[in-house]
Amino acid sequence: MAVDYQSLAVKGVQALSPYQPGKPIEELARELGLEPSDIIKLASNENPLGPSDKALAAARNALEEMCLYPDGNGFDLKQALARRFGVQMNQITLGNGSNDVLEVITRCFADADSSVVFSQYAFAVYPLVTQAIGANGVSVPAQDWGHDLDAMAAAVTEHTRLVFVANPNNPTGTVHGAAAIEAFLDRIPERVIVVLDEAYCEYLVGDEYPDGIKLLHKYPNLIVCRTFSKAWGLAALRVGYSISSPAIADILNRVRQPFNVDTVALAAATAVLEDDAYLQKSREINAAGLRQLEAGFERMGLPYIPSAGNFIAVDVGASAADIYQTLLAHGVIVRPVAGYGMPRHLRVSVGLPEENERFLAALDEVLVAGGREA
């Protein structure tokens, strides 16, 4: 008799569906018989500028050591992060992307007897890791596509161990100001860990926005997560980190896998932290790209959610999955977000000006062919 291996998996895993990333360029090229250069990908919130020259040079040099295990403690990168943000090295936990850190946090602090609070439309990893470990996920209805912080604070009970807050939020791009975040943190009991996911924080400019790292001294139950995959342009190398109290970091580093960040990634991330010119250019191209996309949507009469990230969600007025499939035939990859409960929206990453324009032209053509008036 054949063994039902799915039944052997823990219950939380049995009910999971695999995370669906943005469609790779190479896959679409094979399907359509196109050259990869004929395709644009605006699906995964990647940096359209390509990598920093400093990161590339450091990565190439690091290849000479590929026969050796990486520094399991990530000393150089931790030192660079500590210097940049004015923290101690023992406050830092490194991860294979910030997803890795988010999973480690959940495994450390939640279990089948506890609950984890997150917002509707928030990053898919929060409910995935919560369900995988068998904890009770509490999804709080959104407000204007973003986090309803008052409702989230009210959802905290004696069983709550973790609260996830993405600021800015993916996939909606909504953001809360510094005052709102601090007022929220003031309402959370110190026994509850708050994870402030700031994967897109480098795109925020202005004192009205919170800097989670500067709040750590006031809120010992706070963990701030960040990544090198977005504004820093290192998505392929998978480098993320959290900064917290030394006590929390000590717990996280007990569970973190050894050598979870490779030598090339460590070198490139350390180098790119010194490339402020690259970061500034990333911000500029992103701000201009958001304006370009917004103007295009307004010309087409399409509602969109104003975004503080490097992407924007647009309501295409019909099944976004159908529009997505038709755009693929035009060599344009974007991201449907029906899995987030947003079946009419496409999430579009900001590209270079010519990529944004090609997407807008293709979208307009697809919508007109589908019966929308020009």
pLDDT digits (tens, 9 = 90+) for 250-288: 999 999 999 999 999 999 999 999 999 999 999 999 999
Domain presence at residue 220 = yes
Is the domain of 174 the same as that of 231?
Answer: yes
Is the domain of 257 the same as that of 347?
Answer: no
Domain presence at residue 257 = yes
Domain presence at residue 14 = no
Q: Pick the last residue of a domain from 256, 272, 288.
A: 272
pTM over 0.85: yes
Is the domain of 32 the same as that of 159?
Answer: no
CATH number of the domain that 231 lies in? 3.40.640.10
SS3 sequence, the chain? CCCCHHHHCCHHHHCCCCCCCCCCHHHHHHHHCCCHHHCEECCCCCCCCCCCHHHHHHHHHHHHHCCCCCCCCCHHHHHHHHHHHCCCHHHEEEECCHHHHHHHHHHHHCCCCCEEEEECCCCCHHHHHHHHCCCEEEEECCECCECCHHHHHHCCCCCEEEEEEECCCCCCCCCCCHHHHHHHHHHCCCCCEEEEECCCHHHCCCCCCCCHHHHCCCCCCEEEEEECCCCCCCHHHCCEEEECCHHHHHHHHHHCCCCCCCHHHHHHHHHHCCCHHHHHHHHHHHHHHHHHHHHHHHHHCCCEECCCCCEEEEECCCCHHHHHHHHHHCCEECEEEHHHCEEEEEEEECCCHHHHHHHHHHHHHHHHHCCCCC
Is the domain of 166 the same as that of 313?
Answer: no
Is the domain of 41 the same as that of 68?
Answer: no
Mean per-residue pLDDT over the chain, rounded: 93
Is the domain of 282 the same as that of 331?
Answer: yes
Is the domain of 155 the same as that of 194?
Answer: yes
* Each residue's pLDDT tens digit, 32-53: 788 888 899 999 999 999 999 9
Range of the domain at 42: 19-50+277-369
Is the domain of 145 the same as that of 157?
Answer: yes
Domain presence at residue 86 = yes
Domain presence at residue 265 = yes
CATH number of the domain that 352 lies in? 3.90.1150.10
* Each residue's pLDDT tens digit, 62-113: 999 999 999 999 999 999 999 999 999 999 999 999 999 999 999 999 999 9
Domain presence at residue 333 = yes
Per-residue pLDDT at 374: 44
Domain presence at residue 78 = yes
Q: Pick the last residue of a domain from 228, 243, 272.
A: 272
Is the domain of 156 the same as that of 219?
Answer: yes
106's CB contacts (< 8 A; 6+ apart) are: 116, 129, 130, 133, 135, 162
Q: Pick the last residue of a domain from 272, 292, 319.
A: 272
